Chains A and B, each alone.
Chain A
């Protein structure tokens, strides 16, 4: 308490222990708590309505928070954009948004990670584990971040065996346990023997898939405790690393950039430790690919490549590196993914 403590507020759209998106952020907040000179306040289950506006102002007015991490994508527009101009001395760090200098206030920043590369590595592990050559993906909504994950998962698997296909089922909601279970069962019924997902809380998908004797690849956080035998690996956020480094920058009087992106090599994402079912050949290719990605600028979408309707998405020689902004408006599923974006 030498200087006045920095009060940092974390806001989650779901439960802090959801084994998924929110837990990943809460783990980051827990790491911040361990720093000295920082007081962390948290609030969970805050809807993307006027509620989050009030929560932000409540943290500012009642707790003296000066740095806020409203972590859900839907908090950005209109909620952060409404509140930030009224509190110019408060910093709002938002996860997932596309901050731009000409449209958005200077006290707002957005950060995100190239977790699609993690799904590519999931795909490599899945490609080796699959016997049926059919893998499955339970997805929330057909939005760019999700589509990139699906495509990367299949392309990772195809780097092992180009005949593999990936069936995707969209549940339509970020958090809807019943539909997630139904979708997982439907994938297992169709013969998918490795399943991953992109929903807020992967718990139901992991447990249901493992119960159907399918292998699973995790997402958001480490779900291996849910299916220790069947868990191959998982694409995890590494918010602990990102948040502690941002807090240290602020504490030392520095400024955090308004637009921050990072990948595996920057410590923004990490992979769960490989599970017991991963073979040595799989491990070798996994580690080699991981080393490749660690160099930065990995190109998942690399021509010639078609989408699953036969349209050209990358001509021969054309490719998109992980940090290509074009990937953040992806609207297609690549050839080999069975499913439709609409």
Chain B
């Protein structure tokens, strides 16, 4: 009698214990997002604007047609890489917010490398652009990790301040030693030939390969974090650094490695901006993608797989910003306000994890 009950109960319990946390991890952020949209609706109503019109314009501009999807997806690539630069160190408990520096310097490295290799075989030149870009980004953010490990320097402040240095370096090199004399009123590195330009993916809408590469990078990062011993070691370190040290995990090397990997990925955002969009490195690289990446990674709870839909959603918001300005006569900061409200509610929702009885296996026992 007792034997049969435990036998039938055990698999069900294991099933619940496995799936309830996963459901919780989807339901809470989703509920936070919807609450954020509802709170923002109140804000719109207070301004005498229609929330229905607002959200239908977001749908129309961001997700309704081939052009809408192009408008959205063409903005996603740098956001994916920028978010990974936050998510990877976050697994170790580090808050790196200076991905912008790695993005602009990665773009600069790609632009300079490409300009110096004009005439070399395109495949090799392109590969060198990617490698140099990633190397510079790895050194930049890896340097932040190194300072953390060796000198105990706060990585959040260090990475942010280094972003300003990175931007100053970009301006210096673009306006000085590597300026193309032909770029009169917009100082840039030399124009890249078509062979060194990344093209569009064959998916029927004009979205360059950076999007595909970014999605693959997210999946790879998820695999490494969730399915390998390195990812496991990183998670232990992030949860309890002393326990990790007691277990003789290479904490220092993990920190430097993960920050360097994050920096290399952020730098690829710069590479794709230069090679796919601008065709040269210049001040347009300073577009704030690094900062949007922070928001995305936090919204995705630093889960690389969740970064993909979150980045697409935010890109869709931004794609609709123009239409909202034009149709509803709302200022351009409207979308920023929306993002801010969603972000705050999401941070508040963090306190709900483990507190809602419905997500505990015990709730479902009879």
Contacts and interface: CB of A to CB of B under 8 A. Distances in A.
A73 B185 contact: yes
A58 B325 contact: no
A142 B175 contact: yes
B287 interface: yes
Q: Is the interface of A mostly helix, strand, loop or mixed?
A: helix
A62 B187 contact: no
B287 A49 contact: yes
Interface in A42-63: 42-51, 53-55, 57-59, 61-63
A172 B174 CA distance: 12
B309 interface: no
Chain A CB within 10 A, most for which of B186, B187, B319, B323 = B186
B176 A96 contact: no
Nearest to B329: A42
B176 A342 contact: yes
B71 A73 contact: no
A237 B55 CA distance: 38
Contacts of B284: 47-49, 74
Given A49-B273, A49-B284, A54-B74, A172 B184 contact: no
A329 B60 contact: no
A130 to B, nearest CB: 29
Interface in B265-307: 273, 277-279, 282-284, 287-288
B357 to A, nearest CB: 45
B260 interface: no
Contacts of B326: 41-43, 59, 63
Contacts of B184: 98, 143-144, 328-329
A43 B332 contact: yes
Nearest to A74: B186
B129 interface: no
B171 A172 contact: yes
A16 to B, nearest CB: 9
Contact of B319 (A54, A144, A328): A54
A51 to B, nearest CB: 7
A94 B60 CA distance: 28
Given A42-B326, A55-B322, A96 B278 contact: no
Contact of A49 (B171, B176, B277): B277
Interface in B229-276: 273
B91 interface: no
Interface in B165-193: 168, 171, 175-176, 184-187
A78 interface: yes
A44 B331 CA distance: 8
A42 B185 CA distance: 25
Contact of A77 (B74, B168, B186): B186
Contacts of A306: none
Given A143-B187, A145-B185, A62 B61 contact: yes
Contacts of A43: 322, 325-326, 332
Contacts of A59: 322, 326
A62 B65 CA distance: 11
A58 B175 CA distance: 33
Nearest to A170: B175
B277 A58 contact: no
A141 interface: yes
A342 B187 CA distance: 12
A50 to B, nearest CB: 5
B67 interface: yes
A57 B71 contact: yes
Interface string B321-350: 011011000001000000000000000000
A73 B186 contact: yes
A112 to B, nearest CB: 10
Interface string A315-330: 0000000000000110
A265 to B, nearest CB: 24
A47 B318 CA distance: 12
A328 B183 CA distance: 11
A63 B287 CA distance: 26
A143 B185 contact: yes
A91 B325 CA distance: 22
A54 B320 CA distance: 10
Contacts of B323: 58, 62
B75 A78 contact: no
Nearest to A96: B185
Nearest to A97: B185
Contacts of B282: 74
Contacts of A141: 175, 187
A239 to B, nearest CB: 18
A144 B171 CA distance: 17
Contacts of A57: 67, 70-71
Given A44-B332, A54-B319, A144 B185 contact: yes
Interface in A120-171: 141-145
Nearest to A12: B332
B186 A42 contact: no
A49 B288 CA distance: 11
B332 A45 contact: yes
Contacts of A78: 277-279
Contacts of A142: 175
A259 to B, nearest CB: 15
Contacts of A58: 61, 67, 71, 319, 322-323
Chain B CB within 10 A, most for which of A41, A44, A59, A77 = A77
Contacts of A48: 283-284
Contacts of A172: 168, 171
A196 to B, nearest CB: 19
Interface in A16-55: 41-51, 53-55
18 contacts: A42-B325, A43-B325, A46-B322, A47-B284, A51-B287, A53-B74, A54-B75, A55-B322, A57-B71, A58-B71, A58-B319, A62-B323, A77-B279, A78-B277, A96-B185, A143-B186, A143-B187, A144-B184
Given A172-B168, A329-B184, 7 more contacts: A42-B325, A43-B332, A49-B284, A50-B74, A74-B284, A143-B186, A328-B184
The 9 closest A-B CB pairs, nearest first, are: A48-B284, A45-B332, A54-B71, A43-B322, A143-B185, A41-B326, A49-B287, A55-B322, A61-B67
